[in-house]
Structure 1
Amino acid sequence: MKIDVVTLFPEMFDGPMGHSIMNRAAERGLLDFNRVNFRQFGLGKHQMVDDTPYGGGAGMLLKPEPLFDAMAHIEEQHPSTKKRVILMDPAGKPFNQKMAEDFSKEEHLIFLCGHYEGYDERVRSLVTDEVSLGDYVLTGGELAAMVMVDATVRLLPGVLGNAVSAETDSHSSGLLEHPHYTRPADYKGMKVPEVLMSGNHGLIEEWRHKESLKRTFFRRPDMLEGRVLTKQEQEWIAEWQRDFNEDES
């Protein structure tokens, strides 16, 4: 996979991209990551990339020319790749695991990181997706892009040591992930559930599924909206609801 990040602060990506999963993906030839500083396409001797908005208002807007030229530069470097261009924008669609899974299937991703008060509206003609990390505003799009790149790259085949890890992550199955335990079996009186040491894989999988559902039911009930529950899942939820009501009374 090729990833280009168009940014005014390429050095911000040095740390995250040089360690752990991202570095491993690059070393294995699974990721070609590049940073494009669109300041180099700025106007005039001062390489200006922003200007005041027409009609007045606070702050500065990113000009269209540097970003259009940066995109043209990337196209010249990689003319044959199918590109998906993602604009970092707090007004965009909220990023989630399904989006990361979709991104991981693409050949070439380009993340446009804004700064200042926003973009000249014409920049949006360059993009395929407008994405937000959440309902809040960051100083720039770089941190959001780092999160999205990380969530995407770890899903590429061969990046994680165990492919099942990605499949069982929270949100991948539509449920939060079940609890995990390792040795010792008893730590300060807190014991590992016996079923996990039973060797009965059928019971273990049932326990894990039940705990995933339980964690989701209590922490993120919104994730269950629209989910078609099995009879067993309905019975479990009814049981937890009764226990919760009894505790409240």
Structure 2
Amino acid sequence: MRFDLITLFPEMFAAVRDQGVSGRAHQRGLWSLHAWNPRDFTHDVHRTVDDRPFGGGPGMVMMAEPLAQAVQAVRAARRQAKADPADQAAPVVLLSPAGQVHDQARARRWAGSAGAILVCGRYEGIDQRFIDRYVDQEVSLGDFVLSGGELGAMVLIDSIVRLLPGVLHDAESAEQDSFNPALTGLLDSPHYTRPEVWDETAAPDILLSGHHARISAWRRQRSLELTADRRPDLIDRARRAGDLSPRDEAALAAIRAAGADDEAGPVR
């Protein structure tokens, strides 16, 4: 897998390239990262990549030509490296508030691909003509705005790379992540480790029992409780997809009943 980053700040990507799980995977050659600065594709002494917006208004807009030249150079490099399938070039992806929201299902689909060309915008935005001509997909991380696309690109890369075969020491770790199909898209259950008693609080006895079936049932119950409390929209989504078992529905009914009792307060 190869990611090419078009960015004014290539040095920012040392964090995802050199550190942690993604860094170890990069060192082992499980994926690669290549950064391209649009300033290297300018032809004036100031290496200009932005200008005032037509129609007036605050801020600056990234110019189309340096970005287009960068994309063309990336595509040539990927062809030379045979990084893409013969019948499909890597998509050009723009980190943008107007994009589809990235999620775990999308990360899993991308983990089976050859990577992407990620365009990191800055300033007030990018000349729409470049987007119309070159961008295949726009991706958002949520309903908030960052100073540029670099942090979003790093989050995107990390979410995908950790799902590649051989990246995690235990492949089952990714299967138990929140939002994964193994959990029918729900939140993961709470976790505990040594010591058994910390600050006068003991870890749940069931997790120390060695009874795998009961532990699994406990974790599912906690997952349902946490999701119903924090992200009820995920419960609704799993229900519409038919991913909740009769046992899950019974547990959720009990959770709702307990919540109703708590709201009603003590009987007087």
Instruction: String of CA shifts for 1:154-211, please: whole Å, max 9, x gaps.
Output: 1111111111111111111301011111122222332222222222211111111111
Q: TM-score, normalised by structure 1?
A: 0.95
Q: Compute the displacement of 1:108 (Å).
A: 2.5
1:1-249 to 2 correspondence within 5 Å?
Answer: 1-79=1-79, 80=82, 81=84, 82-124=89-131, 125-172=133-180, 173=183, 174-227=185-238, 228=242, 229-249=244-264
Task: Quote the Cα distance in structure 1 between the aligned partners of 2:27 and 2:9.
Answer: 24
Instruction: String of CA shifts for 1:90-127, please: whole Å, max 9, x gaps.
Output: 12111211121122111031110000110111222312
CA contact (8 A) 1:84 1:106 kept: no
Instruction: String of CA shifts for 1:133-169, please: whole Å, max 9, x gaps.
Output: 1111111111111111111111111111111111111
Name structure 1 gaps, 5 residues minimum. none
Q: TM-score, normalised by structure 2?
A: 0.89
Task: Quote the Cα distance in structure 1 between the aligned partners of 2:16 and 2:114.
Answer: 21
SS at match of 2:237: coil
CA RMSD of aligned residues (A): 1.4
Name structure 2 gaps, 5 residues minimum. none
Instruction: String of CA shifts for 1:69-90, please: whole Å, max 9, x gaps.
Output: 0011111111141302210111
Q: Compute the displacement of 1:40 (Å).
A: 0.6
Task: Quote the Cα distance in structure 1 between the aligned partners of 2:186 and 2:212.
Answer: 20
Q: Compute the displacement of 1:61 (Å).
A: 1.1
Q: Compute the displacement of 1:55 (Å).
A: 2.3
Task: Quote the Cα distance in structure 2 between the aligned partners of 1:101 and 1:42.
Answer: 36
* Matched pairs, number: 249
Farther-moved stretch of structure 1 (89-98 vs 111-120): 89-98
CA contact (8 A) 1:43 1:49 kept: no
CA contact (8 A) 1:43 1:66 kept: no
SS at match of 2:207: helix
